[in-house]
Amino acid sequence: MILEIVTPEMVLFSGQVDSVSVPGVNGQFQMLDNHAPVVSLLTKGSVKIFGNVQLDEATASLFKKADGTTNFEIKGGVIEMTGNKAIVLAD
């Protein structure tokens, strides 16, 4: 699946991933390849990216790698999953 993480300032990540886990308002949830369409509010927490993630040098310092995942902390936002593409609009 394709994942994009976008902030008001810039696109932080855009690339192919195995799956992504996000902090939804009702708890952490994960989306895999070919997941059903979803739109959800996100709360403060960590966006966890699973897979071999290649980060841009300009944004790599904003991500942390741990336990086989690449993590990005958010204060809130929205996620939309459709057509095997997930877009996280993060605060």
Closest residue by Cα to residue 72 from 40, 50, 39:
50
Question: Above 90 in pLDDT, residue 67?
Answer: no
Per-residue pLDDT tens over the stretch 9-31:
999 999 999 999 999 999 999 99
- Residues 8-11: contacts with CB under 8 Å, at least 24 apart: 8/91, 10/59
- The confidence score (pLDDT) of residue 56 equals 84
User: Counting beta carbons within 10 angstroms of the beta carbon of residue 89, is it exposed (0 to 12), middle (13 to 18) or buried (19 or more)?
Assistant: middle
User: Which numeric CATH code is attached to 2-90?
Assistant: 2.60.15.10
> Which pLDDT score is estimated for 1?
95
Structure tokens at 8: 């008001």
Give this prediction's pTM.
Answer: 0.91
Instruction: State the average pLDDT for the chain.
Output: 93
Where do the structural domains in the chain lie, given as residue ranges? Answer: 2-90
pLDDT one-digit tens code per residue, 46-64: 999 999 888 888 888 889 9
Rounded CA separation 85/19 (Å): 11
The pLDDT assigned to 57 comes to: 85
Predicted pLDDT of residue 58: 83
| Amino acid (1-letter code) at residue 23 | P
